[in-house]
Chains A and B, each alone.
Chain A
Amino acid sequence: MANSYKEITKELQEIAAEVFAEHEIKHLVGFGRGEFSGLTEPVFLKNPEEAERLIFQDDAAPMLSKYLLKYKPDLQAVVAKPCDSRALAYYISEGKISRDNLVIIGINGCPGIEGNTACQECDTRNPVIADYTVGEEMSQQELEAELEGVKYLLEDMTPAERKEHYSREFSRCTQCYACRDACPVCYCDHCYVESNQPEWLEEGSSADKDMIFHLMRTMHMPGRCVNCGACEMACPEGIEMRSMTTHLYHRAKELYNYRPGISPEQPTLFSDFDKEDSEPGFL
């Protein structure tokens, strides 16, 4: 069973004190309540006295893994939802961050995030990598039962229908890049968007150019995207951002039995090419 937010919050506060006692960390990255907004926001705790600030709520949408890249190579502790733990495992497998520099507090039996469609099709409800955990583990049986009959976004659509859907959705894009910035695996130091020599993405915000941005971003996603839904949660235009990436996620799973970030030892999708791999095209 999924754990309650309240229970997780309580355990997090207890474990945080332990983490501070046992490790010389730069900070503990977790979720706290906004002083004036009351909304859940990422917090960077510096000492054990702050442990009681930690919370876990149904609006804890941001992926905290992303911040760890900003402060590496310092030793950092982080509260990791199962999807966050996969992003971390992926970072480690790509050599983006060292396991030795991480203290991971994983959330077992993650109850999910309100409004995040990724949580409905989530196939990782316990952390794949953790030093401490909070909450009861969710059994494989339970997980399978919950996923029984669940279709992923646009699964049953034809390519033509999907294209139509993408065009309609992405036409609302304002190129604020919140999707990219919230995405844990959009970690390039120099995004193609920011390159003007060559200029991969011409300036301007016509529907065509919006679409080019999203297609190019999507092309970087297979084998990386951990299907966390952070992109969609970040989008202020309510664009169904996952409709494209989740398709790639599930195709890689079906075709190559590959799920990104499932273990720090897992080779990346494209470095694991086999002559026998099928190549059916993906959209």
Chain B
Amino acid sequence: MIKKLTAEELKALLGELRQKFLVIAPFRVKQGRLTKVLYQPVKSEDQLSSIYLKEQPDASPKEYFLPRDDRLGEETAGADCQPEEWSDYPRLFLGVRSCDIAGIELFDDVFTENDFVDPFYQQRRDNSLIIGYSCQEPADNSFCQEVGINPLENENVPLMLYDAGEGFYLKVQDQEVLKRFEMLDMIEELPEVESSELEEIVRENRKNFSENEFSLERGLPFPEKEAFTSVDWEEATASCLGCGVCTFYCPTCFCFKFFWEEIEKNRAWDSCMFSLFTAHASGHNPRETQDQRWRQRLLHKFSYHPTNYQGSPGCVGCGRCVSKCPVNLDIRRVLDRVEKTLAGEGVKGNES
């Protein structure tokens, strides 16, 4: 089922949805010298006209699922304690691109596995509805197609939004979910169009994605031990400063730490790029140098995660780690080096 609507109609629909949902959408936000695109809750009707879908948001919506600071509860509350009710309204995320949808799916794999469910994540996930968004052109430094992601279409969200220049198309992909959130009627009222109209637009947009200098030749996972030992990681990552920007902005990085405030137990993002991440209380540190930490970040995404999750990549190719890096260290360049080394073309440097 494909619906066509004007910008005004989309706004009206979102206005209506605001009665049921906390709508979270990308906005342009000024932060010091930077103008960023960030997901923020729509606080008033007027803000609907400022929603900005044209560019890839600077950050994925991951903080809405795994907050940077997450209060878990009083540590004396006991193992049966349920997470606090933290929201009266379900949340609707508007304009989430395929890369970020894949990021959330990866979180689903990790935090709602058969033998383990994170109740905090699950609660946030269960009351969230995602409206996907079809990219019109590749974001800076992105390589999503190389990790098997289709930037134009995504069947894993109940609704997918397409910008047609003049107006929008909305593709209904899962009516059951829309029913559960009591919003199917609203969508059904919109005028329906033939799928060929939309297909033509997608076909046109796809042309913008044809060229990519970078390609990933090798299937995942990368061979663990071989990639670990044979690549000259120091040379490939020499410029890394050791900050956590790449991991904080990564839609798939989920590693965390606990911290305590009095008897409150909290969880915060942690980063494998930090020297303290693996340091033992005794002082021993299995990853003493920055290139070892870089190796961990890359191989977690391209070897370890795919090994644990049926070949599914741990990277969604959004390119943010490149764009945000203070020294523009490019994961594609390092991947290229890894691939060449594994293919036997690379020159092996000194083991560090």
Contact = CB atoms under 8 A, between A and B. Distances in A.
Interface of A: 34-37, 39-44, 59, 61-62, 66-67, 115, 117, 169, 172, 174-178, 180-182, 194, 196, 202-206, 232-240
A236 B249 contact: yes
Counting chain A CB atoms within 10 Å of each CB, the highest count among B33, B322, B332 belongs to B33
B327 A36 contact: no
Nearest to A205: B69
Interface of B: 31-34, 36, 68-69, 140-141, 213-214, 235, 238-239, 241-245, 248-249, 257, 259-261, 266, 268-269, 271, 274-276, 322, 324, 326-330, 332-333, 336
Contact of A39 (B275, B328, B336): B328
Contacts of A234: 241, 243, 245, 326
A40 B328 contact: yes
A36 B33 contact: no
B68 A205 contact: yes
B242 A181 contact: yes
Contacts, number: 121
A176 B273 CA distance: 10
Contacts of A169: 32
Given A36-B214, A182-B241, A239-B32, A203 B259 contact: yes
Nearest to B235: A44
Contacts of B213: 35-36
Contacts of B243: 176-178, 180-182, 234
Contacts of B141: 36-37
B317 to A, nearest CB: 12
A174 B241 contact: no
A163 to B, nearest CB: 17
A76 B107 CA distance: 44
Given A181-B243, A204-B266, A62 B69 contact: no
Contacts of A237: 31-32, 34
Counting chain A CB atoms within 10 Å of each CB, the highest count among B261, B324, B327, B328 belongs to B327
A268 B234 CA distance: 34
A174 B32 contact: no
Contact of B330 (A35, A59, A117): A35
B261 A236 contact: no
Contacts of B336: 35-36
B332 A36 contact: yes
Contacts of A61: 326
Contacts of A236: 245, 248-249, 324, 326
A232 B326 CA distance: 10
A18 B248 CA distance: 42
Nearest to B259: A203
